[in-house]
Amino acid sequence: MNAYPWWRGAIIYQIYPRSFLDTNQDGVGDLPGIVERLDYVASLGVDAIWVAPFFTSPMADFGYDIADYRNVDPLFGSLDDVDRLLDEAHRRGLKVMIDQVLSHTSIEHAWFRESRQSRDNAKADWYVWADARPDGTAPNNWLSIFGGPAWHWEPRRCQYYLHNFLSAQPDLNFHHPDVCEAVLDNVKFWLDRGVDGFRLDSINFCFHDAALRDNPPKPLEKRVGRGFRPDNPYAFQYHYYNNTRPENLGFLNRLRSLLDRYPGATTLGEISSEDSLATLGEYTNGQRLHMGYSFELLTEDFSVAHIRETVRNLEANMPDGWPCWAISNHDVERVVTRWGGADAPPQLANQLTAMVCSLRGSVCVYQGEELGLTEAQVLYEQLKDPYGIAFWPNYKGRDGCRTPMPWDANSHAGFTTGDTPWLPVPDDHRPLSVARQEAEPGSTLHGFRAFMRWRHAQPALRWGDIRLLDTEEPLLAFTRTLDGETVLACFNLLPDPLDVAVPLAQSVQQIEADHLLQGKLRGRHMALPGYAAFFARVANE
């Protein structure tokens, strides 16, 4: 029995409810659909599920615009369905984490409907309101992630309100003490209901600069990273004043104090700042977030140098915190396509799972990664994502990673028995369906399960320290050490075979595993096929 909390080293399976399983034939996945597939999720060997927003919402941003934090949108089910999900997941040994979108609400939230009516009502200052400049333009130069100014004119108050995302997502004013109290009370509602933790969306966006100072311009060569495209004007600024403000740290302390009253409950913060790795360290230091993740491994850079630099920088910034890694989610191109290209071989999916699940930290696995799903091609007229519609054709949005799960060979791949799914099922996903891969012993799905079983029996990979080794492309290598046991992990990141010396002076003994395309140890050399992995125990010398 280990002494670590459940979330430390956990594998967290992200479920995007809209696209998981539809049980009422309306073409949209729902909470009963998740319950129906819990046996499948448990069979993957994961520790927890993270369920994307299912709260009452007009769905301008598909649930990340919340109109009622304490209720379920009828599209997804009811509060009774949440209770059933919690009960059934816990019965199978699965923890349940849910999204909390704290920095902003929907324009349909009762708080905002009241706030927008006048400058002197009870909720008048619950959102970020500001007067126009003398010429009628927006109060400052802040930009929205979804394109254009981050300010929207409200004629009822003759003022602008702030929206860091869509104009349908007004930002709450966390400088108002009543806002902080109300937000924490909403979190407590779900803790009392029995959830095991929260994935905190854009958690560094809660506070803004009270003086509304302009953000400084960013030079062209610096417009990279953070998960934002350089052709998005959002990348044209240093976002020093519209997010990641120092006041946020005090709020995180209060949030942690609340969580500490519920033994085992955890927080995972999504962080995107000008220096996300430094912010991760700050936000997970002491009595703040339990875990954090950023976008550094959600980019297109698949190289030893990038992965090693990211991990090394995070380790330097987070000596006392605990990271959580993700290489896919509902906001980015699926990793097999992003890192392997359109013709990526099946073994790449299993190698990437092994690589990310061998790093120090917990891991979020996005639904479909266990199948090796590729990025779907969605026609413009089929797009639903407002981000993709706004930036077409340079950027096609997030719909390509949000298409329905392929379960079997039936109509719409078993996702729905209704007439039309909310997004189309791509033809190239049908051969990757769960049913088909269940019937193929050498499938990506079986490889995923086998690796998770094997990892579960490797304490060094779950909780050990990490040491990155200075190897040349395309060999990524590091060790994990716990209680005197050291495991060497090596990965050939290219499709071509690689013959290379063992990157350690100590003797090693290969760990045989049947779940990966493996390298072979030959004396002091490793023969690694393309996209192969190699694990070995390191002798104590």
Among residues of the chain, what percentage have pLDDT more than 90? 91
Full-model pTM: 0.97
pLDDT at residue 229, as a whole number? 64
pLDDT at residue 230, as a whole number? 61
Which tops the pLDDT comparison, 519 or 7?
Answer: 7
Collapsing DSSP to helix, strand or coil, 461 comes out as: helix
pLDDT at residue 251, as a whole number? 98
pLDDT digits (tens, 9 = 90+) for 342-357: 889 989 999 999 999 9
pLDDT digits (tens, 9 = 90+) for 389-403: 988 988 889 999 999
Average pLDDT over every residue of 172-192: 98
Which amino acid, residue 103? S
pLDDT digits (tens, 9 = 90+) for 263-308: 999 999 999 999 999 999 999 988 899 999 988 999 999 999 999 9
- What is the rounded CA–CA span in Å between residue 327 and residue 329? 7
pLDDT digits (tens, 9 = 90+) for 210-244: 999 999 999 998 887 544 566 789 999 999 999 99
Among residues 30, 270, 282, 370, which one is catalytic?
Answer: 270
CB-based contact 146:119 (threshold 8 Å): no
pLDDT at residue 320, as a whole number? 85
pLDDT at residue 309, as a whole number? 97
Among residues 201, 333, 369, 399, which one is catalytic?
Answer: 201
Count Cβ atoms within 10 A of the Cβ of residue 303 and give its class: 0-12 exposed, 13-18 middle, 19 or more buried: middle
Residue 201 bears catalytic tag: yes
For the range 239-242, what are the long-range contacts, defined as Cβ-Cβ under 8 Å and sequence gap of 24 or more?
A: 239/142, 239/215, 239/273, 239/274, 240/209, 240/215, 240/216, 240/274, 241/140, 241/142, 241/208, 241/209, 241/212, 241/213, 241/214, 241/215, 242/142, 242/150, 242/162, 242/164, 242/205, 242/208, 242/209, 242/215
pLDDT digits (tens, 9 = 90+) for 432-488: 999 999 999 999 999 999 999 999 999 999 999 999 999 999 999 999 999 999 999
- The CA–CA distances, whole Å, from 61 to 5, 168, 319, 352, 398 equal 34, 8, 36, 29, 11
Tokens in use for 138? 């927006």
- What is the rounded CA–CA span in Å between residue 252 and residue 246? 11
Specify the DSSP element, H or E, that contains 188.
Answer: helix 177-193
Among residues of the chain, what percentage have pLDDT more than 70? 98
Q: What domains does the chain contain, in order, with CATH numbers?
A: 11-105+176-454 (3.20.20.80), 464-538 (2.60.40.1180)
- The CA–CA distances, whole Å, from 355 to 363, 369, 467, 488 equal 11, 13, 14, 12
Residue 270 bears catalytic tag: yes
